[in-house]
Structure formats: C-alpha cells, structure tokens
Amino acid sequence: MVPNIISKTALYQCLYLRMLKSTLLEAIHEAAAQMRSFIDQDFKVENKIGINNLVTEVDHASERVIIETIKRNFPEHHILSEECGDLIQDSQYKWIIDPIDGTVNFAHRIPICCISIGIEYNGKMAMAAIYNPFMHELYFAERDKGAVLNDKPISVSKKEKVENACLVTGFPYTYLDEPNGPLQVFERFIRKGIPVRRLGSAAIDLAWVAAGRFDGFYEHNLEAWDSAAGFLLVEEAGGKVSDLKGNPYNPYQPGIIASNGLMHKELVDWVTGNINN
C-alpha cells in the first residue's frame, strides 16, 4: 500500500506543477496581449515617487489580467505585485509579479520591456517566466529542470575574466551620492574599458545573462518583482546570483550580482571595490 500512496502523491504534485505552469503562461500571454494592444495607441502615463519613475494605464491593465488569471485557478495563493502591492493569503505559494518591467522604455515605445512573473514555494523560487512580446522571447525556468528560451534550452556564457566580459547594470531613479554607489562602480568598469550596458529592464538583464548574451549583471537597488523571475532563470541556466557582497541572494533585499558563475567572485570584488585597479 505504501508505494501506491507515494505514487499518488507524486502524481498529484506533477499535476499541480503542470497547472501552475499552465496558469503562469496563460497569465503572461494575457498580459502581453494588453501590451501589444496599446503600443500604437495613446495611453495615460503618470509619475510615481521620484523623477521618471513612471506607471502607465497599461501596467494596471497587465496587472489586472495577470491577477484575474491567477485567482481563477489558485484563489488561495499569495500575490505580490508592483502596482497593487501585497495581496496576502495563508499559502505556501506566492506569485511575484512585475506587470511591465521597463515601463519607461514601454512609455517611449522602446521594445526592451517585458512581463516578469515568479512563483515562490515555501520561501524558494520554484518557477518563473519572463516575456518580451515585442521581441517574441519567452523565457521559462522551473527549479531543477533548467531554463529555456522559446522552448529551447539556454545556458550562461563561458567567459572567465571580468576584463573580457560584457556587463549590464541599471541605475536608481533617485541617486544618492553614497560611497561606492552606482556611478562610482560604473566608472570603475568603464575606466578599464569594460563594456557596461544599461537596457532599462532588470528582468531582461537577468534573462540575457541566463541566455549567455551578457556575462554579468549588477544593480544596487531592486525590488522583489524586478528580480524574482530572473534570479531563477540565471541559476537554472547554470549561473550564480548573490547580493552585492557575494552572500546568498534573496529577492527581498536590494542589491544583486548575477553572472555565469565562472567570474562571480571577481565580479563581486569589482563591485565592492576590492580589486586592484
């Protein structure tokens, strides 16, 4: 009887994971349809706290269809989303949502923007998707099952030295002139001729590290919805993610360094200023 009970439990878990994935992809495609429908139309743009910290009516429309899709299938799940905040439920599952990551780009019709959704189970990222509907790139990862781009497996780059790397970063909307802050770290790299790009979407930055396009990414101040999905993508593609000091990463603290893993310690040293320049 025991093996039969175990097999039924495993079957239930498998079916539940399939339903999670199906709901995740349904939600992300519904949100993408909202983004596409507005791209050639006028839409309302407002400013949140700080300069150029934008939110559009499309962010709200995207968020609304994502949450509706989740609640239709998993009404008992906890949801954390950028615009509406924390919809707390007593659940082991939490959906962490950025309805449009790269809103400034989207508001200016720059097609480097995406929907980012991560699913956390018992405090660990379990499943994630990032979708740029304008580049037709859908990234998906499931813990211990790898990462894919449009259903094809992806992996991080093989560069071993920071001096040979192509990096990406972002800057906060309001910059405080703190020691070893974003501008100082950026200057450290560019004075050594190391290319550092700034795309305006942390989720895409992380997805492109996972796909091997960038060798590393760092940023001083992110929210959970910016990094939750990309964090899992990088790890499942064979990379490494930490806080700014190289400690284990969690999306509820601000600083992040993500890399192909081979150069991670050196990249941490560059960001912290512990490198001989």
What domains can be seen in the chain, in order of their start residue? 2-153 (3.30.540.10), 162-272 (3.40.190.80)
Q: In 74-223, where does DSSP find H-type helix?
A: 103-107, 182-190, 202-210
- The C-alpha atoms of residue 7 and residue 10 are separated, in whole angstroms, by 5
First to last CA, the chain: 66
Residue 122 has pLDDT above 50, yes or no: yes
The Cβ of residue 243 has, within 10 Å, a number of other Cβ atoms equal to 15
Please compute the mean of the pLDDT values over residues 62-69 and round it to a whole number.
Answer: 96
pLDDT of residue 38: 81
Q: Structure pTM?
A: 0.92
- Residue scoring higher pLDDT (43 or 6): 43
Look at 76-85, 116-125, 212-221, 262-271 and tell me which has the smallest mean pLDDT.
Answer: 76-85
**Contact 23/73 with Cβ under 8 angstroms?**
yes
Residue 48 has pLDDT above 80, yes or no: no
pLDDT of residue 49: 63
Short-list 198, 192, 213, 190, CA closest to 168: 198
20: Cα within 13 Å, side-chain hemisphere: 24
- Helix, strand and coil content of the chain, in percent to the nearest 5, comes to 35, 25, 40
Residue 25 has pLDDT above 80, yes or no: yes
- The C-alpha atoms of residue 35 and residue 100 are separated, in whole angstroms, by 8
pLDDT of residue 277: 57
pLDDT of residue 83: 83
Residue 1 has pLDDT above 50, yes or no: no
pLDDT tens column, 84-101: 888 888 999 999 999 999
